[in-house]
Amino acid sequence: MATFDVKNIGHLRPAISRGETMPSPCAACSIRHLSLCAALQENEVQEMAAIVTTLEVGAGEPLIDEGQPAVHVFNVTSGAIRVYKLLIDGRRQMTGFLFPGDFLGLANEETYAYSAEAVTASTVCRFPRRKIEALLIKYPRMERRLLGMASHELAAAQEQMLLLGRKNAREKIASFLLMLSRRAEQRGLPADPIFVPMSRNDIGDYLGLTTETVSRTFSDLKSKGAIELLPAGKVRLAQREHLEEVAEGA
Amino acid sequence: MATFDVKNIGHLRPAISRGETMPSPCAACSIRHLSLCAALQENEVQEMAAIVTTLEVGAGEPLIDEGQPAVHVFNVTSGAIRVYKLLIDGRRQMTGFLFPGDFLGLANEETYAYSAEAVTASTVCRFPRRKIEALLIKYPRMERRLLGMASHELAAAQEQMLLLGRKNAREKIASFLLMLSRRAEQRGLPADPIFVPMSRNDIGDYLGLTTETVSRTFSDLKSKGAIELLPAGKVRLAQREHLEEVAEGA
DNA sequence: GTTCGTCGTTGATTTAAATCAATGGCGGGT
DNA sequence: ACCCGCCATTGATTTAAATCAACGACGAAC
């Protein structure tokens, strides 16, 4: 896991001095969306920049281990991160996938309650938790933003509970593809031929299914013309409306 | 749903003027734990008291309907509340059970993303969301507390995802009983013969199971001596350690 | 006191998804 | 160039839980 300090952030400042409010890029990370650092004031930007470190994480490398002291918070800059919890015998439940702009490491306790790894080679911005907490006290606007993010995540978690507890395999896969599409769109990426960077196994562990069931369900949706499987992990949502109906259980 | 304003809160003040910090009772609701109102200053207590309304909700009565404008936040004072989401065809996923001291109604959006009903006859304190938000800006300490609660709930939600996605029926039921026991203990109630106020159907919708599977699994744990089913919805955790092993998937 | 609806339990059967198994493709390492 | 291991896919079989079904207990309503 290569690490280097961010020095040359000057070129990103203009976006803020230009008077942009939200979404504005995080000076340290050049993040636009849903970020802890969005819409900071000039003085706040400087303080954030002073404590940030940028990390490069190779595919499959760990970023956080459940049970370890929660000393850092992270902001994803590029790539994709998987967040998960394990049972003693190794069964794994993904609790989320993170993309550029997403935030990681919010913890109430002294230790992390989950693990995180890079799905593909990724870069993240790392902040010492203690320093972030000091900044939150100093700048309540940042804290409000964090609360907004937490409550957004909570709503997403409840939606995921509905999926895990009550949807069948086809509904799960349809929901998953649409979620990826919406999140890509939010980040200004193409919403239709979507890029699915994670393995069938990762998807299964996110949806409470096995690799085989995920693969079969993809094949099934494809044979019914709802999706097309393109090379390089791309998927076309050929019948988005149909997928939306399926995802909602209609 | 009977409603009346809270006037006589004077008798609760002493706990705060005595200089107690945390957990301290909420002046309006007499709540001790995990409450929005815990550890308030005297002036904050008065402002909270000025905007609170107490509601009585009969068993089965709705408190929140998904999609309705999110105009209030709630604090549970007595009884038990179920929070859930529905699919179009009526499949239901409980996202949580709330007990005295628990907080409800945190929402980022303009509408609620879930529904809530009383399991048993309950009382709740209701606050207008706009006024709460104004208070949060005025008193960042309250906001910090709210953030702590949100991140606690997020951790619980992730734990529940692990349960829903990867645990079998027995592990789910064991986890559920232990959760009820721990939460009862936190509220100063007996942790061993626990009171289970919700129906088998409610439990099933919480754990992603059917009524029948819940019932069979209870019977099975009982026949193996792990639990005892007592009258009036009480359950004895005869082999707590064994239940803990089962819950963790060991 | 009787009836009706809900609840919990148990049994029989079905089924969706898991498991077990085999294959071919692809990419990295030597 | 050649393995080796991982990944995706598909087929055959098993299985945990759902579904369908029946019954008794209980409480509320009339």
Compute the mean pLDDT over every residue in chain B, rounded to the nearest whole number: 85
**Gap from A92 CA to C25 C1', in Å?**
27
Q: What is the pLDDT of residues B38-64, one digit of tens each?
A: 556 666 677 777 888 999 999 999 999
Whether the link from the prior residue into B23 is cis, omega within 30° of 0, is: yes
Residues of A with CB under 8 A from a CB of B: 85, 87-89, 91-93, 95, 106-109, 113-114, 136-137, 140, 143-144, 146-148, 150-155, 157-162, 164-167, 205, 207-208, 248-250
- Split at pLDDT 50, 70, 90, the class of A49 is confident
Angle (nearest 5°) at CA B117 between B37 and B168:
100
Cα(B57)–Cα(B104) distance, integer angstroms: 14
Q: Name the band, by pLDDT with cuts 50, 70 and 90, for residue A47.
A: confident
Q: What is the pLDDT of residue B37?
A: 60
> How confident is the model at residue B6, as a pLDDT?
38
pLDDT tens, position by position, B215-224: 999 999 999 9
* Average pLDDT estimate for A199-215: 97
Among candidates B85, B136, B137 on the partner chain, residue whose Cβ is nearest the Cβ of A162: B85
Q: Measured between alpha carbons, how far is A106 from B155 in angstroms, rounded to an integer? A: 10
Residue of A34, A153, A160, A161 to mutate, interface with B, max B Cβ within 10 Å: A161
Inter-chain contacts counted by CB atoms under 8 A, chains A and B: 126
With residue B170 as reference, give the H or E element that holds it. Answer: helix B169-186
What pLDDT is recorded for position B15?
32
Q: Is pLDDT larger for residue B106 or for residue A93?
A: A93
The answer to whether residues B70 and B114 touch, using CB atoms and an 8 Å cutoff, is no
For residue B220, give Cα distances in angstroms to B27, B168, B172, B224, B226.
Answer: 45, 14, 13, 6, 9
Selected for mutation to probe chain A from B166, B168, B171, B206 (highest A CB count within 10 Å) is B166
Q: Which of A207-221, B4-18, B21-35, B196-210 has the lowest mean pLDDT?
A: B4-18
**Cβ-contact B79, B118 below 8 angstroms:** yes
Which nucleotide in the DNA or RNA is closest to residue B212, CA to C1'?
Answer: C9
Mean pLDDT, residues B173-184 taken together:
97
> What is the per-residue pLDDT across A108-125, written as a single tens digit (0 to 9) for each?
889 999 999 999 999 999
CA of B216 to C1' of D21 (A): 16
Nucleotides in chain D near protein beta carbons (<7 Å): 6-12, 16-21
Nearest to B214 by CA among B159, B167, B243, B173: B173
Q: Flag the least confident range among A68-77, A226-235, B14-23, B129-138.
A: B14-23
Q: Is the pLDDT of residue A8 over 60?
A: no
Q: Supply the angle between the helices A129-138 and B140-166 in degrees, to the nearest 10.
A: 140
Nucleotide nearest to A210 (CA to C1'): C18
**Higher per-residue confidence, A6 vs B162:** B162
In chain B, which residue's Cα lies nearest the Cα of A96?
B158
| Chain A contact set for B148 (CB, 8 A) | 108
Region A35-61: mean pLDDT is: 77
Which protein residues have a C-beta closer than 7 A to any atom of strand C?
Answer: A 168-170, 208-210, 212-213; B 199-201, 211-212, 214-216, 218-219, 229
- CB within 8 Å: B151 and A250: no
Reply yes or no on whether the pLDDT at A51 is more than 90: no
Minimum distance, in Å, between the CA of residue A5 and any CA atom of chain B: 29
Query: Which of A11-15, B11-15, B78-82 is modeled with the greatest confidence?
Result: B78-82
Q: What pLDDT was estimated at residue A108?
A: 81
Is residue A17 over pLDDT 80? no
For residues B237 and B243, is the Cβ–Cβ distance under 8 A? Answer: yes
Residue A217 burial (C-beta neighbours within 10 Å; 0-12, 13-18, 19+): buried
Contacts of A146 in chain B (CB under 8 A): 147
Q: Residue A147: which of B150, B160, B165 has the nearest Cβ?
A: B150
Residue B11, min C-alpha distance to chain A (Å): 33
Name the residue among B155, A107, A152 with its Cα closest to residue A144.
A152
Q: What is the pLDDT of residue A37?
A: 61
- Give CA separation, A11 vs A8, A27, A28, B27, in Å: 7, 9, 10, 52
ipTM over 0.85: yes
Reported as type and span, the H/E element at residue A116 is strand A115-128
DSSP per-residue string spanning B88-153: TTS-EEEEEEE-TT-EE---SSSB-SSEEEEEEEEEEEEEEHHHHHHHHHH-HHHHHHHHHHHHHH
Give me the pLDDT at residue B157, please. Answer: 97
Instruction: Give the pLDDT of residue A93.
Output: 97
Closest CA to B131 of B48, B222, B31, B59: B48
Contacts of B182 (CB under 8 A, 6+ apart): B191
> Lowest-confidence range among A7-11, B23-27, B149-153, B159-163?
A7-11
Out of A140-154, A188-202, B33-47, give the one with best mean pLDDT: A188-202
Instruction: Using a pLDDT cut of 90, give the percent of chain A over it.
Output: 62
pLDDT at A170 over 80: yes
Reply yes or no on whether the pLDDT at B203 is more than 70: yes
CA distance, residue B10 to nearest chain A CA (Å): 32
At residue B102, does pLDDT exceed 60? Answer: yes
Flag whether pLDDT at A72 surpasses 80: yes
Residue of B64, B84, B93 to mutate for A, most A C-beta atoms under 10 A: B93
Q: Which residues of A touch B155 (CB under 8 A)?
A: 107-109, 113
Q: What are A116's strand-pairing partners?
A: A64, A83
Residue B44: both structure tokens together: 């904050």
Look at A173-187, B37-51, B104-118 and tell me which has the smallest mean pLDDT: B37-51
- CA–CA min distance A48, chain B (Å): 19
**Strand pairing partners for A85?**
A93
Per-residue pLDDT at B1 = 53
Whether the beta carbon of A215 falls within 7 A of nucleic chain D: the reply is yes
The span from the CA of B248 to the CA of B152, in Å, is 20
> Under an 8 A CB cutoff, do A208 and B157 touch?
no
Residue-wise pLDDT tens digits, A20-46 = 334 445 544 554 434 566 556 666 677
Is the pLDDT at A12 greater than 60? The verdict is no
Q: Which domains are assigned to chain A?
A: 2-152 (2.60.120.10), 167-247 (1.10.10.10)
pLDDT at residue A2, as a whole number = 47
Which 3 state secondary structure label does DSSP give A115? strand
- Give me the mean pLDDT over the A208-217 stretch: 98
Cα gap A239→A241, rounded to integer Å? 6
